[in-house]
Chain A
């Protein structure tokens, strides 16, 4: 079963940038279509971004479009989310997940907490 380790979270001020990472425990990472999903403290889940296994297809939620950039390095079995111009409401635990089937998600990690506050 694939496991993910998310990292890179921390405390940043509004307007700053941060990159979070997701390391997968599989050598077949290139075959996984991947997502970032976030959860604000005490709140529900919000889909953030998608990148296909080839890296050629990318989608973003409207709330982050133009500020966040998703990328992957299959040689390192890693997924990244570069977040620019962070807002207070970007504060959340960020999870990576893969497309399990027909649009469902397999999470496999514990997430990384990003706190945006002055």
Chain B
């Protein structure tokens, strides 16, 4: 089965930029989606199709997919951005894979 690898944690100072990576094989032509999850709450979609933002999601969230690595970029990090972040890819119609998650800590 497919595996999406994410760093367990990323620490960033307020106002700086955080980068969360998602590595996998066979990414070519596939869309990567990103979710933010705060403790006790359901996940929230923050990026879809590699780099598009749903309405109500801050423009500080951006992303790109460079082949075997996708990245979520959080610019001008705020305390409220502290959360777990998950990437997600469909490898077939019945094979949807989430990354293991990255805990973003705001120092």
Q: Which residues of A contact B (CB under 8 A)?
A: 44-47, 50, 59-62, 95, 100-111
Given contacts A45-B86, A102-B31, A110-B42, 7 further A-B contacts (CB under 8 A): A45-B88, A61-B96, A95-B42, A102-B49, A103-B31, A104-B31, A104-B45
Tell whether B15 is near chain A: CB-to-CB under 8 Å.
no
Inter-chain contact total with CB atoms closer than 8 Å: 60
Chain B residues bordering chain A, tally (CB within 8 A): 24
Contacts of A108 in B (CB 8 A): 42
Contacts of B90 in A (CB 8 A): 103
Contacts of A102 in B (CB 8 A): 31, 33, 48-49
Q: Which of B68-107 contact A (CB under 8 A)?
A: 86, 88-90, 93-94, 96-101
5 closest Cβ contacts across the A-B interface? A47-B96, A59-B94, A104-B48, A104-B33, A107-B42
What is the interface of chain A mostly: helix, strand, loop, or mixed? loop
Closest B residue to A57 by beta carbon equals B93
Contacts of B88 in A (CB 8 A): 45, 103-105
Q: Which of B8-30 contact A (CB under 8 A)?
A: none
Distance A2 CA – B16 CA, assembled complex (angstroms):
34
B25 to chain A minimum Cβ distance, whole angstroms, is 18
Q: Which of B48-63 contact A (CB under 8 A)?
A: 48-49, 54
Contacts of B43 in A (CB 8 A): 45, 95, 105, 107
